[in-house]
Amino acid sequence: MNVETLSALLRPCSLKDRVARASALVLDVDGTLAETEGIHRRAFNAAFTEAGLDWYWDHRTYKKLLRTTGGKERIQAFGRTRYPRVFLSDPDVAALHRLKTTHYGRLIAQHTCRLRPGVAALIRNALARGQTLAIATTTTSSNIDELLSVALDRNWRNLFAAVVAGDDVAAKKPAPDVYLEVLARLGHPANDCLAIEDSANGLKAASSAGIPVLISRSEYFRDDDFSGALAVVDELTELV
């Protein structure tokens, strides 16, 4: 047996062990649990139309805009660069974002967005092993509920010891705030936990909080720089 074959055989096993040994798994939502960013994009566009704006974010534009985490911040960043003479106040942005959030809920309900392969098994196995589960996400709290009550379980909240969303903290990813808040609520040492993320911003956020990170590559962030991650996989099926 050559070295490549041997390491290919060992790698998935040691990764699975690494997942099983963590005291807590801290999960990102968008891109990691489900491919939701395309639905976020459609919800933003529906909100722009409803508000009478002629803005439209195509796939390419949205990919660039995703560098700015958080929907309100993304709207503000787009407005500033594309329409510097138009002043969008914080209340204007908040109102537009509320429209977006309503459209997102409607679209998620309509399309019954599925969990990505391996996610349900990862959650099931973790609970069976007695591991703690938590969520650290940038998205709006109600979006987690819209998604997981349909895609996971109506009582999904009971499965997670801590759920921290973007507006619960002062600064969104890549700042470590959501992860630091999860650690504070769980009381686990950072190094005993494992974060599962799909973006470089998420990797930076969790790493800055001292949590080792596994990356599950997603549609919008496939080509991000993931150096510093424990491992990068295409699907969580590789870890269960």
Question: Measuring CA to CA, which residue among 158, 201, 154, 150 is closest to residue 178?
Answer: 201
Quote the least distance from Cβ 234 to ligand XBP, whole Å: 17
**Could you list the residues that contact Mg ion (CB under 5 A)?**
28, 30-31, 198-199
* 136 neighbors 26 (Cβ within 8 angstroms): yes
Catalytic residue among 28, 177, 198, 224: 28
CB nearer ligand XBP, residue 186 or residue 203: 203
- Would you call 54 a catalytic residue per the annotation? no
Q: Does residue 218 interact with ligand XBP by CB under 6 A?
A: no
Q: Does residue 201 interact with ligand XBP by CB under 6 A?
A: yes
Which pair of tokens denotes residue 5? 């074959």
CB nearer Mg ion, residue 178 or residue 190: 178
CB nearer Mg ion, residue 198 or residue 224: 198
Q: Does residue 199 interact with ligand XBP by CB under 6 A?
A: yes
> What is the rounded CA–CA span in Å between residue 3 and residue 123?
33
Quote the least distance from Cβ 38 to ligand XBP, whole Å: 10
Q: Does residue 140 interact with ligand XBP by CB under 6 A?
A: yes
CB nearer ligand XBP, residue 76 or residue 199: 199
The amino acid at 106: R
- Would you call 28 a catalytic residue per the annotation? yes
Q: Does residue 202 interact with ligand XBP by CB under 6 A?
A: yes
Q: Which residue is nearest to ligand XBP (CB)?
A: 71
CB nearer ligand XBP, residue 22 or residue 165: 165
> What is the rounded CA–CA span in Å between residue 95 and residue 109?
22
Binding segment toward ligand XBP, per CB under 6 A, in 45-53, 118-126, 195-203, 225-233: 195-203
Catalytic residue among 17, 30, 92, 192: 30
Size of the site for ligand XBP (CB under 6 A): 20
Q: Does residue 143 interact with ligand XBP by CB under 6 A?
A: yes
Q: Which of residues 23-82 bind ligand XBP (CB under 6 A)?
A: 28-31, 37, 40, 69-71
| CA 103 and chain centroid, separation | 19
Q: How many CB atoms lie within 10 A of CB 35?
A: 17
Q: For the chain, report the end-to-end CA distance as a whole number of angstroms.
A: 25
**Which residues sit at the interface with ligand XBP, rule CB under 6 A?**
28-31, 37, 40, 69-71, 100, 137-140, 143, 166, 173, 199, 201-202
Mind telling me the catalytic residues?
28, 30
